[in-house]
Amino acid sequence: MNETVLEILRTYTKDELFYKEMQEARKDSKALEKFLDCHSLQETIDHKWIVPEYRDQGGWMPEMMADALLFDVLQNKEIFVSKHNRYTSMFAHRHAFFEFAYVVEGSCIQCFNNKEIMIHQGQMTIIPPYSTHAIGVFDDSIVINICVKRQVFEMVFNSILRYSNVITDFFARSLYLYQQADYMILDTENDRDLQNTMLQIVAQSLDKKPFDHVIMISLLLYWFGKMLQNHEDGIDIPSLSYQNNEKILEIITYIEGHFQEVTLKELASKFSFSEGYLSRLIKKNTGKSFTDLILDIKFDKAINLLETSRQPIMEISYLAGFESVEHFNRSFKKRFQMTPTAWRKANYTNRSVQI
């Protein structure tokens, strides 16, 4: 099966053939002019082709990618898998979701803050929400992009996030803290099992069978578990200087695990801080008050349950930590300008992702 998937990935798509022809045309100004004459601005917009020469004229250039760009058109699926189009022009962009870029064959260039990094076969780059970056693949190399909604990532990957290690610290920063690393690189040392798992994820995305996204998320969880089990030494994160680095991460992790009942007083006592100091520490590192941070976590939990389960609203309000269903309804409507029932009606998908 995996060899079949590889053959599919190696085959050039229509988009890739377009980009390859454009890169060849760029070697000569007259050839490029002729190429652009053959492909109008409107054609490139219709096909969502990235052509830098058309940028100032309103060409397709998705510099900020919201969830809706990938996920809403897919009937609220929580994971999106694709091959990165080879020969696409590199352009700086960011997005609201987590991206996992895995090199199946060959290599690619990742660029962060004008620094280019060569990523090789068997390596994965993890790009957190709102990290500006660019990627380039200019040969027959194969790079797989796996995109996961931020709120779904937080809920589904909770089984990994509750352990303290370099990956979970990175994810905790990406989810809650102002200061974060722009990327993380995982080196699997060409682990065949991990590559096969990645190809199984691709196969599921190609087959488009019922519950495919449940299986893909399960496989991604397995991939990370095996990565931590066998290759934790192969994790590279750019160094940053943080004040109260370990302590704030420990605090955030505790809040995530006890959001339903934790109070500022209890938290301050546990970590031997005054309530005032702890409140300022949380605000400085997350941009939110303790109350707002707790509320955000509760809403993330509630939205995930509304979109992926059939549980009654009353049960969801309890699981999300609200004191009553009435309080939940009022708070939800105030935040999202609609009731939980209306949100479920607009966003519900009959496929649970609760692994």
One-letter amino acid at 139 equals: D
pLDDT band at 265 (very low <50, low <70, confident <90, very high): very high
Output the pLDDT for position 162: 67
Give the rounded percent of residues in the chain with a pLDDT score beyond 70: 90
Question: 181 near 166, Cβ under 8 Å?
Answer: no
Q: In sequence order, what are the residues at sequence separation of 6 or more whose Cβ sits closer than 8 angstroms to the Cβ of residue 134?
A: 90, 91, 92, 93, 110, 111
The Cα 333–Cα 135 span in angstroms is 40
The Cα 256–Cα 258 span in angstroms is 6
User: What sign does the dihedral 285-180-96-299 (CA atoms) show?
Assistant: negative
User: What sign does the dihedral 261-266-270-274 (CA atoms) show?
Assistant: positive
Pinpoint the alpha helices (H) of the chain: 2-10, 14-25, 29-38, 41-46, 67-70, 150-156, 158-161, 166-176, 192-207, 212-230, 245-257, 264-270, 275-286, 290-308, 313-319, 325-336, 340-347
Which residue, 192, 153, 148, 145, is CA-closest to 175? 153
The Cα 243–Cα 272 span in angstroms is 17
Output the pLDDT for position 63: 84
284 token code pair: 């400085």
Q: How far is CA 24 from CA 38, 87, 89, 101, in A?
A: 15, 10, 12, 26
Output the pLDDT for position 73: 46
Name the CATH architecture for the domain at 245-347.
Answer: Orthogonal Bundle (1.10)
Is it the case that residue 241 has pLDDT exceeding 60?
no
What number is the average pLDDT over the span 112-118? 91
Point out the least confidently predicted range of 58-72, 80-94, 183-197.
58-72
Render pLDDT for 250-260 as a digit per residue (tens, 0 to 9): 888 889 889 98
Q: How far is CA 170 from CA 119, 129, 179, 250, in A?
A: 19, 12, 10, 12
Domain range list for the chain: 61-236, 245-347
Is it the case that residue 350 has pLDDT exceeding 70?
no
> Between the ranges 4-13, 245-254, 338-347, where is the mean pLDDT highest?
4-13
Pick the CATH number of 61-236 from 2.60.120.280, 1.20.1250.20, 3.30.1120.10, 1.20.1260.10: 2.60.120.280
Render pLDDT for 317-327 as a digit per residue (tens, 0 to 9): 999 999 899 99
pTM: 0.72
